[in-house]
Amino acid sequence: MMLRLTIRAAATLALGVLALVPAARAADSIDPLADKAAFQKFYTDKFPKLKLEDFVNGPYSMNEDLHKQWVEKEDFPPYEFSLEAGKEMFSKPFKNGKTYADCFPNQGIAIRQNYPYFDEKEGKVVTLELALNRCREANGEAPFSYVKDDMAALTAYMAYTSRGKPMDIKIPNDPRALDAYQKGKEYFYTRRGQLNFSCATCHVQSPGERIRAEVLAPALGILNAMPIYRSEWSGMGTTSRRFTTCNSQIRGVPLNPQDDEYRNLEYYLSYVSNGLPISGPGARP
Amino acid sequence: MSTTTREFSETRRLVLKGIGVTALIGLGVMPFDVPRALAAANDKYPEDAFKQKSEADAIKALYGRTAEPSDKVKMDAPEIAENGAVVPISVTTTLSDVTSISFLVAENPNALAASYKIPAGTLPSVANRLKMAKTTNVTAIVEAGGKLYSTTKEVKVTVGGCGG
Amino acid sequence: MASSIRVRATANGDTTEVQALIQHPMDSGFVKDAQGNLIPPHFIQELTFEYDGKPVFVADWGPAVSKDPYVKFAFKGGKKGDDLKISWVDSKGATDTTTAKIQ
């Protein structure tokens, strides 16, 4: 509760300052490191039995009956086929002979924990999904849909090669990076849609509780498990799919995948989960 | 790339279907060759049982008799299914001479979900994942020594479009 | 091209434990697509596991088995390196078959 109030006050304050003197949106009022520590402490205080790394398993870490069903599913996880397809796609050259590996540091292997990153040339956040489609377009291939199938398969494979590596999002010493982070944070805590929910209403205030039928996931570590096979979707979904469906479910109007707001949101949400292991691809109810 | 992959699987599907059809013609009703021994023992696909609506009719069509509840049949199923589309359910039994294990979901459109033949030497224990339309009873039937034994458990299915 | 069948068969003492996951829509015939049209039923009807030329497990399935179906069982016998043959046939007459090595 304290945290929510504090954050809302801070956000209001920041917005107020912004309205008056945009240029004075001082870097010293934005403290990602302190945010991260407070965010993670909030969850470990709320769920004292859980270790930090447990949070990447979403609702499965908070409900025993669900946890058992999950362990049974992980025997032979439903994302297996997507993962294999992704591995095959990743190694197959484009028409011009190049591959995805040519677009990424370390040939694209074990780098998922560094995404999204702030691109100082572009002055914007670049997510893994965006980087993959840019890679395709740079090599004369049509971009994939951001929400499922091919994009999910590719990111599933890339996440798999990073499994266990701690999320490691950096905020460079660039006011625009800090600004993107702050905007992501504001998006996270701003209420919207006919239900007037913010991301935090469900995923900070109520993780582990049921909303209608389902057990809500904690925001901490939620992206570490992406992409996910959701039984509800009968298929795979990406971070983009998670964001857009969340907005639909609160009866808001989803933005387009990879709009600046979503890129900033992913930046913020990944940063505050720094240190938690990548667990994707994941399976969810 | 995605297109290529799709084309591949599309092609493959057609090829597979082609093979299936050929096999069907080649072997009469048998889709492939090795299970013929089984089929000869009157173990063909129980189409009629799968078409029955109620649990009782499905059991009758499948086995021609009724089952008695037994605490020697142990079923493991969740209290609340995380999603009705994928409900992990398993059965194991201490009964001997088990020849088949079947799963029925009472209020599905057709009650019989799956039936497993257990040849001699195979352990009487099966795990699978089933679909459930709503909160209802799941029944496991074990056929052992020519008799039918059952156990039943209610599994709650909640359908939601929010959260996760 | 990858098979539709994934199998893990592990010999442990005198038994072999088998888990299989098969890529198949298992359409029940009761679900509508985005346009509101019923998706016709299409599901695996029979799945057979054979070891040493004999069936060790036969599944008869209806449309209430989950999409990308999973099954787990165990049989007496089976050694590391031995073959386990798995095949299925669905309601449209399509089939697939694969052979897995017992681990």
CATH number, residue C62? 2.60.40.10
Q: Does A146 touch chain B (CB under 8 A)?
A: no
B58, B104 in Cβ contact below 8 A?
Answer: yes
- Strands B147-157 and B80-81: what pairing? parallel
pLDDT value at position A63? 83
Q: What percent of chain B has a predicted confidence (pLDDT) above 90?
A: 62
What residues make up the domain containing B5?
Answer: 1-44
Instruction: Please indicate, yes or no, if residue B163 is contained in any of the structural domains.
Output: no
pLDDT value at position B101? 98
pLDDT in tens, A251-279: 999 999 999 999 999 999 999 999 999 99
Candidate from C48, C56, C69 with C-beta closest to B129: C69
Q: How far is CA C34 from CA A266, C31, C38, in A?
A: 29, 10, 10
Contact A78 B5 (CB under 8 A): no
pLDDT value at position B7? 40
DSSP code at position A119:
E
pLDDT value at position A226? 97
pLDDT value at position B29? 41
pLDDT in tens, B25-77: 334 344 444 333 333 344 689 999 999 999 999 999 999 999 999 999 999 99
Contact C62 B114 (CB under 8 A): yes
pLDDT value at position A199? 95
Given the residues A135, A199, A202, A246, select the one marked as catalytic.
A246
In chain C, residues 53-72 whose CB comes closer than 8 Å to chain B: 53-67, 69-72
Say if residue B56 is in the same domain as residue B38. Answer: no
Is B12's pLDDT higher than 70?
A: no
Domain count along chain B: 2
Contact A76 C2 (CB under 8 A): no
Segments in chain B forming alpha helices (H):
2-26, 36-40, 47-51, 55-63
Q: What is the DSSP string of C39-68?
A: PPPB-EEEEEEEETTEEEEEEEE-TTBPSS
Between A65 and B162, the higher pLDDT residue: A65
Segments in A100-168 forming alpha helices (H):
128-138, 149-160
Is B124's pLDDT higher than 70?
A: yes
Contact C6 A76 (CB under 8 A): yes
Q: Does C67 touch chain A (CB under 8 A)?
A: yes
pLDDT value at position B82? 82
Tell me how close the Cα of A217 comes to any Cα of chain B, in angstroms. 5
C47, C87 in Cβ contact below 8 A?
Answer: yes
pLDDT value at position B20? 39
Tokens representing C61 are 């399935």
pLDDT value at position A20? 43
- Choose, out of A57, A62, A71, A72, the residue to mutate when testing the contact with B (most B CBs < 10 Å): A72
Instruction: Please indicate, yes or no, if residue B95 is contained in any of the structural domains.
Output: yes
- Choose, out of C8, C46, C83, C84, the residue to mutate when testing the contact with B (most B CBs < 10 Å): C46
**Cβ neighbours of residue B95 under 8 Å, at least 6 residues apart?**
B70, B72, B73, B124, B142, B144, B145, B149
CATH architecture of structural domain A26-285? Orthogonal Bundle (1.10)
Q: Does A233 touch chain B (CB under 8 A)?
A: no
Average model confidence (pLDDT) across chain A: 89
Specify the 3-state DSSP secondary structure of B152. Answer: strand
pLDDT value at position A28? 57
Contact A68 B78 (CB under 8 A): yes
pLDDT value at position A71? 85
pLDDT in tens, A95-104: 999 999 999 9
How many A/C residue pairs have CB atoms within 8 Å? 21
Contact A214 B160 (CB under 8 A): yes
Confidence class of residue C9 from pLDDT cuts 50, 70 and 90?
very high
Give the C-alpha separation, A218 to A202, whole Å.
8
Task: Sort out which chain B residues have CB atoms less than 8 A from A100's CB and list them.
Answer: none
Contact B31 C46 (CB under 8 A): yes
Contact B158 A212 (CB under 8 A): yes
A204, A191 in Cβ contact below 8 A?
Answer: no
pLDDT in tens, A129-160: 999 999 999 999 999 999 978 999 999 999 99
A285, A228 in Cβ contact below 8 A?
Answer: no
pLDDT value at position A18? 43
Tell me how close the Cα of B69 comes to any Cα of chain C, in angstroms. 23
Confidence class of residue C33 from pLDDT cuts 50, 70 and 90?
confident
A231, A285 in Cβ contact below 8 A?
Answer: yes
Q: What is the DSSP string of C66-88?
A: PSS-EEEEEEE---TT-EEEEEE
Instruction: Please indicate, yes or no, if residue B164 is contained in any of the structural domains.
Output: no
In chain A, residues 60-79 whose CB comes closer than 8 Å to chain B: 65-66, 68-70, 72-73, 78
Task: Sort out which chain A residues have CB atoms less than 8 A from C70's CB and list them.
Answer: 75-76
Give the C-alpha separation, A100 to A96, whole Å.
12
Contact C89 B31 (CB under 8 A): yes
Candidate from C2, C21, C67 with C-beta closest to A76: C21
Say if residue B93 is in the same domain as residue B58. Answer: yes
pLDDT value at position A234? 81
Is A185's pLDDT higher than 80?
A: yes
pLDDT value at position B1? 37
Closest CA to B14 of C1, A209, C68, A220: C1
pLDDT value at position A212? 75
pLDDT value at position B117? 97
Q: Does C6 touch chain A (CB under 8 A)?
A: yes
Q: What percent of chain A has a predicted confidence (pLDDT) above 70?
A: 90
Say if residue B79 is in the same domain as residue B29. Answer: no
Tell me how close the Cα of A65 comes to any Cα of chain B, in angstroms. 7
Contact A73 B160 (CB under 8 A): no
Is A246 one of the annotated active-site residues of the chain? yes
DSSP code at position A281:
S
Say if residue B65 is in the same domain as residue B30. Answer: no
Q: Does A204 touch chain B (CB under 8 A)?
A: no
pLDDT value at position A14? 46
pLDDT value at position C44? 98
Closest CA to B72 of B155, B127, B143: B143
Name the least confident of A233-242, A264-273, B25-34, C38-47. Answer: B25-34
Q: What percent of chain C has a predicted confidence (pLDDT) above 90?
A: 84
Is the C-alpha dihedral spanning A104, A105, A110, A113 positive or negative?
Answer: negative
pLDDT value at position A74? 83
In chain B, residues 96-115 whose CB comes closer than 8 Å to chain C: 105, 108-110, 112-115
Closest CA to B92 of B50, B128, B61: B128
Is B99's pLDDT higher than 70?
A: yes
Is C91's pLDDT higher than 80?
A: yes
Tokens representing C18 are 């088998």
Is A167's pLDDT higher than 90?
A: yes
Between B68 and B2, the higher pLDDT residue: B68
Give the largest CA-CA distance in chain A. 56
Query: Which residues are A32's β-sheet partners?
Result: none
Tokens representing C38 are 């019923």
Instruction: Please indicate, yes or no, if residue B93 is contained in any of the structural domains.
Output: yes
Contact B130 C64 (CB under 8 A): yes
Tokens representing A225 are 């498990």
Closest Cα in chain A to C68: A78
Q: Which residues of A touch C (CB under 8 A)?
A: 75-76, 78, 80-81, 84-85, 88, 234
* pTM score, whole prediction: 0.79
